[in-house]
Every structure is written in structure tokens, then in C-alpha cells.
């Protein structure tokens, strides 16, 4: 009986495998790019949105082929809902609704960037229902997507599509002027604000971190040597009243709006000008006006007490330098003399006992 039972078991297992193979035929291949471009490669391909706008569905074959995804991704890698051609048309109330429906497709490949995006101010706005907050395609594009950092000047132009006033201010700055001339050393938006995990720049914590932000470039000796700019800007700032106060506030996690001055309070935020130019707010002619933004009623000599971002030397603030040099010797001499005097008094007391 056991032998017959084994035979029947093997026969039953074979029949089950055969039936399983017949019940689950191989799934058809997804549509190829050529299949999709049969329709979407026509310049007049379009669809009508819910708000009445005609949305172009045309994809230029050559532009897509030369994009960063060309030759690497199929249409269905992003449009995962398309499994056959022709397919049912999707209905969207407007152009923005369509962008929001597809933007999470990027995370399938770019998951690291997507996770950083979750910590950014743009995603926080989107979560609050602000549909105009940018998504991946708003910054990177879709079918004509190029390398994210080339050309470099395109980064700030992209941000300016939403941040129009800020973009106009940046266009007047020394950084933008150098960038327009082909200088890639100057910062663009993402160097200061980051790309995906950009924090809210209006918070107290962001304001107190500005000096560290500027220090990324302005403490780079090799970079600053190219332009004759002092790398002492951070150390001298941290050594003066403003810098020490900012460091104290940062360590205490201060939340008050009444804060000390940081780099941008004096030099500007996006409209940073050349420090030696007539429009600069920190040249001697304009410095008092800049100080009066915080120090109401400051007199004509108020700004003269500031030494700038330089250590005193015989060339810069020689009187301060000589005074500092004098006290470097005078104070140890006085303190040392006092210690000797005390020791002599103690010796005299011991001897006379």
C-alpha cells in the first residue's frame, strides 16, 4: 500500500504542476518606448484637462534620448500604470494635479534623495496642502531632464521660477555677477539652502547658523587666495561681541527674535554686493547706516570702533596693534611682579619666626 500511495502522490504532484503552468501563462512584456512614441511622438498629441486647458502629450524622441534617462529607462518605469497600448486615458483636473500624481515615481530609483526631501521645507508645505510647493519635476523637468548641476547657473534660474523676488535680488549680487561671467567658485541657491533637505531659512536656528554657512567658502584658504579675500572673517567675527553673542545664543537654543547680527545682517542676504563697491552697505561711507538698523541713535563715531574682519597689525589699525603688544608684556610683568612680592613677604615672615 505504501508503494502505491507514493506513486499516486507523485502523479498528483505532476498534475498540479502541469495545471499551474497552464493557469499562469507568462505575463506579456510592457510596452516599449517605441510603442509609446507611436502616439506620444506626434507633435499634435494632446489631452484636455478638467479646467479646459489643452495639455500637450508630445515627447520629442531626440530630446528624450539625450536626457539623463535616455537609453536607461523605459517610459513604463515612471508611468507604471501603463501596461498595454493603447491604454485608458487618465483624467486630471489641472496641470498641477498631474504633476502631483507622478512625482513619487522618482523615489523608485532616487530613494536617498527622496528621504532627504521628507525633511525639507518644500515637502512640509506640500504636506500642509500647499499644492504649489515644488516637486521633483518642477526643478528637474521630466522628459528633457539634464544633469542636475549643469550648467551651474541654471540652478538659481530654476529656483527663481517660484522665488521671483529673491531671484531678482540674487541677480544683482556679486555672486551672481561672477557666476554670469563663468566663475563656478561662487555659491548658487543650493550651496546655501541645500537641494532636497532645505530647512526653513526664517527660523532662529537658521539665522544663528549663517556664520557657519558662509564659512564653508570664506575659510577656504586656497579658494580665498584666488580673490585676495581674508580667511580671518569667521575667527574675527567669533571673537567680537556679535560673534560671541551668537555663539552663546546658539548653545542655549535661544528662540527669541531679538538676536545679534550675523553675516547677512551686514552684508545682505541674496543681494550681497562687492565690499569695495559704492553700493556696499559695509564700506566706511555706508557702515554707520548699516549699524543704525540695530543700534538706533548710534552717533557718527559709533562704527569707527569696529576693526572689520582683520586682526590688528602695523598695516591695519596700528594703534590697536601696538596697544595690544604693549599689554602682552605689561600685564605679565605686573602680575609676575606681584607674585614675586607676595613670595618675598612670605619668605620674610618665615625667616623672622
Q: Which three cell numbers stand for residue 44?
A: 499634435
pLDDT digits (tens, 9 = 90+) for 152-192: 888 988 999 999 999 999 988 889 888 888 888 899 999 99
State whether 206 and 303 are in the same domain: yes
Tell me, yes or no, whether 302 lies in a domain. yes
> CA 27, CA 290: separation in Å to the nearest integer?
71
- Burial class of residue 191 in the structure, from the number of CB atoms within 10 Å of its CB (0-12 exposed, 13-18 middle, 19+ buried): middle
pLDDT digits (tens, 9 = 90+) for 210-247: 888 898 898 899 998 888 888 888 888 888 888 888 88
State whether 249 and 330 are in the same domain: no
- Tell me what the mean pLDDT of segment 259-265 comes to: 82
Tell me, yes or no, whether 239 lies in a domain. yes
pLDDT digits (tens, 9 = 90+) for 29-88: 788 999 999 999 999 999 888 888 898 999 999 999 999 998 898 999 988 888 888 888
State whether 231 and 271 are in the same domain: yes
Contacts with 77 (C-beta within 8 Å, 6 or more apart), sequence order: 105, 108, 109
Which residues constitute the domain of residue 305? 201-311
User: Domain count of the chain?
Assistant: 2
State whether 337 and 287 are in the same domain: no
Tell me, yes or no, whether 209 lies in a domain. yes
State whether 307 and 351 are in the same domain: no
Tell me, yes or no, whether 290 lies in a domain. yes
pLDDT digits (tens, 9 = 90+) for 265-308: 888 889 888 776 665 655 666 788 888 888 888 888 887 777 77
Tell me, yes or no, whether 35 lies in a domain. no
Q: Is the peptide bond before 86 cis (omega within 30 degrees of 0)?
A: yes
State whether 353 and 325 are in the same domain: yes
More confident residue, 182 or 11: 182
Q: Can you give the pLDDT at residue 12?
A: 47
State whether 336 and 272 are in the same domain: no
State whether 285 and 343 are in the same domain: no
Tell me, yes or no, whether 348 lies in a domain. yes
State whether 294 and 221 are in the same domain: yes
pLDDT digits (tens, 9 = 90+) for 336-348: 999 999 999 999 8
pTM (global) more than 0.95: no
Tell me, yes or no, whether 117 lies in a domain. no
SS3 352: coil
Amino acid at each position: 500500500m505504501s508503494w502505491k500511495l507514493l506513486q499516486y502522490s507523485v502523479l498528483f504532484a505532476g498534475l498540479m504542476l502541469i495545471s499551474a503552468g497552464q493557469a499562469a501563462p507568462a505575463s506579456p512584456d510592457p510596452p516599449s518606448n517605441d510603442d509609446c512614441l507611436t502616439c506620444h511622438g506626434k507633435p499634435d498629441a494632446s489631452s484636455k484637462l478638467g479646467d479646459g486647458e489643452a495639455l500637450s502629450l508630445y515627447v520629442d524622441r531626440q530630446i528624450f534620448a539625450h536626457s539623463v534617462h535616455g537609453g536607461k529607462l523605459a517610459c513604463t518605469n515612471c508611468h507604471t500604470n501603463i501596461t498595454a497600448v493603447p491604454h485608458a486615458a487618465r483624467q486630471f483636473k489641472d496641470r498641477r494635479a498631474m504633476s502631483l500624481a507622478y512625482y513619487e515615481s522618482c523615489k523608485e530609483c532616487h530613494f536617498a534623495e527622496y528621504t532627504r526631501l521628507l525633511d525639507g521645507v518644500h515637502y512640509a508645505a506640500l504636506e500642509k496642502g500647499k499644492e504649489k510647493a515644488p516637486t521633483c519635476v518642477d526643478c528637474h523637468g521630466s522628459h528633457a531632464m539634464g544633469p542636475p548641476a549643469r550648467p551651474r547657473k541654471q540652478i538659481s534660474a530654476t529656483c527663481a521660477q517660484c522665488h521671483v523676488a529673491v531671484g531678482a535680488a540674487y541677480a544683482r549680487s556679486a555672486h551672481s555677477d561672477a557666476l554670469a561671467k563663468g566663475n563656478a567658485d561662487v555659491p548658487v541657491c543650493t550651496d546655501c539652502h541645500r537641494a532636497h533637505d532645505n530647512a526653513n531659512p526664517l527660523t532662529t536656528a537658521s539665522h544663528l547658523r549663517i556664520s557657519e554657512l558662509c564659512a564653508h567658502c570664506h575659510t577656504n584658504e586656497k579658494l580665498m587666495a584666488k580673490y585676495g579675500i581674508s580667511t580671518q572673517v569667521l575667527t574675527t567675527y567669533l571673537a567680537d561681541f556679535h560673534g560671541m553673542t551668537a555663539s552663546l545664543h546658539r548653545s542655549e537654543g535661544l528662540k527669541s527674535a531679538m538676536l545679534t547680527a550675523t553675516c547677512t545682517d551686514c552684508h545682505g542676504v541674496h543681494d550681497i554686493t562687492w565690499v569695495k563697491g559704492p553700493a556696499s552697505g559695509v564700506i566706511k561711507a555706508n557702515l554707520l547706516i548699516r549699524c543704525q538698523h540695530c543700534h538706533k541713535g548710534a552717533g557718527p563715531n559709533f562704527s569707527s570702533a569696529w576693526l572689520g574682519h582683520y586682526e590688528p597689525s602695523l598695516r591695519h589699525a596700528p594703534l590697536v596693534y601696538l596697544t595690544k603688544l604693549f599689554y602682552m608684556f605689561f600685564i605679565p610683568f605686573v602680575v609676575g611682579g606681584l607674585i614675586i612680592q607676595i613670595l618675598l613677604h612670605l619668605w620674610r615672615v618665615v625667616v623672622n619666626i
